[in-house]
Chain A
Amino acid sequence: MKPTDTSHPDYFHKVVDCQWACPAHTDVPGYIRLIAQGRFDDAYMLNRKSNVFPAILGRVCDRPCEPACRRGRVEDKPVAICRLKRVAADNRGDIQDRLPEIPKEKNGKRVALVGAGCASLAVANDLMPLGYEVVIYEALDRPGGLMWSNIPAFRLPPEVLNEEIDMIVDMGVDLRLNSPVESMAALLEEGYDAVFVGSGAPKGKELSLPGRDVDPDHIHIGITWLESVAFGHIDKIGEKVLIIGVGNTAMDCCRTSLRLGAKDVKVMARKPRGFFKASAWELEDAEAENVEIVINHSPKEFVIENGKLVGMQFELMEYEIDANGRITDTRVVGEEFLPCDDVVLAIGQDNAFPWVERDLGIEFDKWEVPVVDETTHESTRKGIFFGGDAAFGPKNIIWAVEHAHQAAISIHKHCQGEAISERLPDGMNLVSAKMGIHEWSYSNDYSQDERRIVPHVDLAERFKQLNIEVELGFTAEQAAEEVERCLNCDIQTVFAEKLCIECDACIDICPVDCLTITHAGPEEELRQRLTAPAQNLEQALYVSGQLPQTGRVMVKDEDLCVHCGLCAERCPTAAWDMQEFALFHPHVKDEVETAPGKQPPKYGT
């Protein structure tokens, strides 16, 4: 195995599991440290730089960071990253004067954004400070898209949503509500310099089974139904409700049903646990509200009596599951009838573009999904870009935000006549965290605490109204303890082999046995003969060059390092150092500030 090349930012970036997993590469350890210091404004702004909607995402983010969190491997539970983000948002002061200045003099370029959801809003957020005129077309009478229509108010209060939307709209966006775009051709005729489609995936999947069309008033499409609830058009549901599907929309549907008068809500899953699409915490929240999740039931028919829905017939399924957890065989072993008053279908959603004419040079694939470049977000027609769910199908808010950042770069380059594929690469900076002999610029001690549970509103209390926010958020005291669980993975262990005298001090002190001095060898074999075998193949080995005294190499298994810095404290020659890693992940602002050919600026937090 060759010495590890740490010159590319990806190597150390991957060590910061949360930041690497976040589509927008939010500097998670950085903002957690700011929260620890009580610098909520700074923590909020650091978040906002990457993910634009910290208060919203602090409540409803899909949190790819948490399953990735190293703490989850060292013990059981990851750091409550998402809820800490909310702490920053809940406790911040007025940050109005820290938002970018919007030039009064516009640059003469006009950009149309279709749909006022998270993707379009984030594009506007990036382009407004550069002097673009931005027009957003929204079909509904308010902005927010799925964040408003599909996420129930008991998870995301409207005032939180509106505050962060207003920050962007108030930059001077020309927001045109009640203005559905009915024809792309007509939109193009308005002469915009670029068009961004962020219209989401607004079409809920249908379940075509016998009886579906007989009593449509009691069979609902999940996302449409949630939207009607949000509008107040629907304010009640039957006592017995079946939700079909176990994704996150299903979780919102079952919990909303309970607030509209349902007494007995069952979520019907075709497969066993472990195959559910819903996030673990959303399942947990639903089950805490006494929703029953019924597994291995495959819908067969809507049962109608006298023209009225009375229940559903299900096939009982049995699965053969192999050692890798894959289903190898499926059997129907029986049938069951479950009575109900209403059925909500939450089995997925599609993007739909009936308004895009197919002769404009915008290609669609065989599933009617537009052909979009994954880096530039440009469609097959120059100057037309897609992002969010509209681009590659349903994902989540944080993905939509990152799409928007990338699309904004493309839109800017397109409008300025630059090649949209020539983009700044990611960069990094490393700065020693050493402040004194045994002093570091971060809290390096390991907290033995377990993950804190976010307090919730009492079960009886929360059903009284549709819009009582269930989660209360951490108190300042709880947050102060939870932040200490963060392992500061961005404080990298950096090794300088020339200085090493092979005294073994680092190896002896490492609390998780992640260091070894040994002779070099092929990676697969090397992984087996380390102090502790390196079994997590997704985590890199950091291998040094030959050590001066014996020609052996230092090997670090990145998997379980808790970044306590003891290796560096114990190193008599400072061959190990703890260095703070700062990722430079360019946005359109950086493209503007960096002249072509220049090195990307290096900056820290």
Chain B
Amino acid sequence: MSFITKPKIVHPSMPRNALGLTVRDYEGGMSTLCAGCGHDSVTSALVQAAFELDVEPHRMAKLSGIGCSSKTPAYFLKQSHGFNSVHGRMPSVATGANAANRELLYVGVSGDGDSLSIGMGQFVHAMRRNLDMLYVIENNGVYGLTKGQFSASADIGSTAKKGDSNEQPPIDPCELALSLGCGYVARSFSGDKAQLVPLLKGAMKHRGFALVDVISPCVTFNDHEGSTKSYQFTRDHYHPAILADYIAPSQEIRAEYEKGAAMPVVLHDGSQIVLRKTDPDYDPTDLAGAFAYLQKQSAEHEHVTGLLYVNEEGQEMHALNHTVDAPLNGLDYDRLCPGSEALATLQENFR
């Protein structure tokens, strides 16, 4: 953290997006996280992604639970809606918000503790019901806010700062997501914004639940030798299987992609993600293959990154539940509250 706030100086040649905003307009308050925290880089990547997608700040809702990660929505898009919920309960709040207003862009930020321990049940059910949101896990393998105990994502053999070794198997949120039919499963690294920003953009445009698991080193409690989620270890075992480029609907795909090597995936609004394979055997549309690949590489202690699985065919929550196609705040009172007679008719159906 710092004592002074980041001065608002607009660089004379700073680019502006379609809304006439600069990237500075997408920032939030000053971070109070430790200097060098990976989460601040994820924040910065979210800022960049929202800026590049011309997101109207008032059309985004930021949601989080408890933990270092869950503090970060305060640090981006200060003009957006926000809800900081109870520990691990962010998916419920997101579900409620999305049910009421399906037109906002929902961005949840959680951590490995918030999602994989206390909030595990909420997390998996949000994926199961295919809630339309971007769900970012800032994954550092430790409980930083309580001084560095192992979290549920700590790898076997990874050591704590004082030297204790973790012996319990880790929960991999990406494998979990694959098994639950999540349609957009990505992993990235806070230290690689070139990869992270397009993945976040694709995730914001994906219809349905999009999981982006970001290895985000805890500079204070988990950046030492022996840690498997340090800056150094992540870089040494960095395994990008797929490079993703986000292409807006108005943009043309650059000709330089080699046929066969590049794989365009069309998103619901017409934008595309062009996937460039670094491993020719990898197919991010093959669920079973993706699962096997992840298992194999994690056994070799590799951090597989990129857009690991994508499926644009899935139906999100509103489609699955046949809800009205407008936000509730846009409905006439009569439609929103059809009256006692309608209620009685409904109840009659269940008798």
Q: Tell me the A residues contacting B by CB distance below 8 Å.
A: 73-75, 438-439, 444-446, 448, 501-505, 507-509, 511-513, 532-533, 535, 549-550, 560, 562, 564, 566, 569-573
Contact = CB atoms under 8 A, between A and B. Distances in A.
B350 interface: no
Most B C-beta atoms less than 10 A away, residue of A448, A505, A566: A505
24 contacts: A75-B9, A448-B8, A501-B232, A502-B235, A503-B190, A504-B193, A505-B36, A507-B44, A508-B40, A508-B41, A508-B43, A511-B9, A512-B11, A513-B11, A513-B14, A533-B13, A549-B235, A560-B11, A566-B2, A566-B6, A571-B35, A572-B34, A572-B219, A572-B220
Nearest to A560: B11
Contacts of B7: 445-446, 448, 511, 562, 564
A539 B51 CA distance: 28
Contacts of B12: 73, 560
Given A513-B14, A569-B35, A570-B2, A549 B40 contact: no
Q: Tell me whether chain B's interface is mostly helix, strand or loop, or mixed.
A: loop
B217 A503 contact: yes
Q: Tell me whether chain A's interface is mostly helix, strand or loop, or mixed.
A: loop
Contacts of A571: 35-36
B3 interface: yes
Nearest to A445: B4
B8 A511 contact: yes
A445 B6 CA distance: 9
A511 B4 CA distance: 12
Most A C-beta atoms less than 10 A away, residue of B9, B41, B219, B235: B9
Interface residues of B, number: 32
A566 B265 CA distance: 40
A218 to B, nearest CB: 50
Given A503-B219, A572-B219, A512 B40 contact: no
Interface string B26-58: 000000001111101101100000000000000
B3 A503 contact: no
A503 B41 CA distance: 8
A390 B167 CA distance: 84
A564 B11 contact: no
B314 interface: no
Most A C-beta atoms less than 10 A away, residue of B3, B4, B12, B35: B35
What 9 A-B pairs have minimum CB-CB distances, sorted nearest first?
A572-B36, A446-B7, A508-B44, A438-B3, A503-B36, A569-B2, A445-B4, A504-B41, A572-B35
Contacts of B8: 448, 511
Contacts of A533: 13
Given A564-B7, A569-B35, A504 B13 contact: no
Contacts of A532: 11, 13-14
Interface string B172-194: 00000000000000000011010
B143 interface: no
B198 to A, nearest CB: 16
Contacts of B41: 503-505, 508
A74 B9 contact: yes
